[in-house]
Structure 1
Amino acid sequence: MTPDSSPAAPRSALARGVDIVDRLTLAVSSIGVALFSAVVVYVALGRYLLGTTPYWSEELPRSLLVWSVFIGLVPATVRASHLNAGLLPLLVRNERLRGKLETVARLLTALFFAILAYTGWQLTEAGLDSLTTALQIPNAVVYVALPIGAGLSAIVILLPLLKERAP
């Protein structure tokens, strides 16, 4: 066991920062999923038991789902749960080559997230001047989840790579 992998080894500020971002975005996304579920149940009960549907019945759940998905992208990225099929160790036996391929995959994924964040920011800016139909809030409020989630995901991928390169 190396000194860095022992349970008593102090964690770097970088690792603690990634952990804080991970926990915060996981909490926000989890709350969003819980709210989404509660709103959908409320709308369904209202529609079928009371015969009435709130005016925001489609827009609010959709907005909550968008936020939950894009903010949930960060903890999924930290855990590599959406990016890893586990095939690389089966296909590449050489550990050194596998490590290099994993680094290339991380860099390409970070680049993808950076492009997604930039494009999402452009979409957010475009949505500043228009309002959602039911809630009458700027569309940018919904759209901004994309650049936040993608940008933070790019950062949490790149930070460990920077640590690996540090002397």
Structure 2
Amino acid sequence: MSTSKLIFDKVNKTLEWFMIIIFALLVLDVLFQVFSRYLLGTSFTWTEEFARFSLIWMTILGAAYLNAKREHLSMDFLYDKLSISNKRKASIVIEVFIFLFALIVMFLGGANLVYTTLHLDQLSGTLRIPLGYIYAVLPFSGFLIMCFSIYHIVNIYTNKNNL
């Protein structure tokens, strides 16, 4: 097994466990919110904000995870009709577009958003967490998607059977 495959698998496993932990915290948070509202008769405002931030992180990290597994949403009706060589070319073009989107929108745009919100000292309403920390998931996931796209392009280019 190649070094790049080992790194790829290790990053995926770490990302998987990180998302499991976030999901578990989200479930505990929502259960606590329901418990406090209906059994204690009081509602804690921070639980709603924590749930929202957890869901944001799950969604953005999930996009990176699905990109790594090549299980992201796609319409493959025309793709399935292509020859093997054209499928390879189309797959590389698709990965390049994914890389460019992750670079421009998620990494650069996300880094700008993080910088701006940290520079302006914007805090979340209830938890008083700097919003830049919440938005940091964008450039992080963008970076992961770019790495995964490079990995997939190299795999497509070197392995003729890997589509």
**TM > 0.5 fold call:** yes
Distance in 1 of aligned mates of 2:32 and 2:141: 28
Distance in 1 of aligned mates of 2:71 and 2:38: 37
- 1:29·1:71 contact (CA, 8 Å) conserved in 2? yes
Alignment RMSD: 1.7
Question: Partner of 1:4 in structure 2?
Answer: none
TM-score by length of 1: 0.85
Distance in 2 of aligned mates of 1:12 and 1:85: 31
Question: Partner of 2:142 in structure 1?
Answer: 150
Tell me by how many angstroms 1:81 deviates.
Answer: 1.3
Question: Partner of 1:90 in structure 2?
Answer: 80
Comparing 119-128 with 46-55, greater Cα deviation is found at 46-55
The aligned length equals: 155
Deviations 1:6-55 (A, max 9, x none): xxxxx111111111111111111111111111101110121122211113
SS at match of 2:47: coil
What is the identity percentage for the equivalent residue pairs of Structure 1 and Structure 2?
A: 26
Stretches of structure 1 lacking an aligned partner (at least 5 in a row): 1-10
Question: Partner of 2:161 in structure 1?
Answer: none
Distance in 1 of aligned mates of 2:85 and 2:109: 35
Distance in 1 of aligned mates of 2:11 and 2:47: 31
- 2:92·2:156 contact (CA, 8 Å) conserved in 1? no
Tell me by how many angstroms 1:119 deviates.
Answer: 0.5
SS at match of 1:87: coil
| Cα pair distance change 1:107/1:72, threshold 3 Å | same
| Cα pair distance change 1:82/1:160, threshold 3 Å | closer
Amino acid at match of 2:86: L
Stretches of structure 2 lacking an aligned partner (at least 5 in a row): 159-163
Amino acid at match of 2:14: L
- Do structure 1's residue 112 and structure 2's residue 104 form an aligned pair? no
- 1:114·1:154 contact (CA, 8 Å) conserved in 2? yes
Q: Which runs of 4+ in 1 moved over 4 A?
A: 163-166
Tell me by how many angstroms 1:165 deviates.
Answer: 5.1
- 1:28·1:68 contact (CA, 8 Å) conserved in 2? no
SS at match of 1:57: helix
Higher helix share: 2
Distance in 1 of aligned mates of 2:71 and 2:36: 36
Distance in 2 of aligned mates of 1:40 and 1:84: 32
Tell me by how many angstroms 1:163 deviates.
Answer: 5.3
- 2:95·2:152 contact (CA, 8 Å) conserved in 1? no
- 1:29·1:69 contact (CA, 8 Å) conserved in 2? no
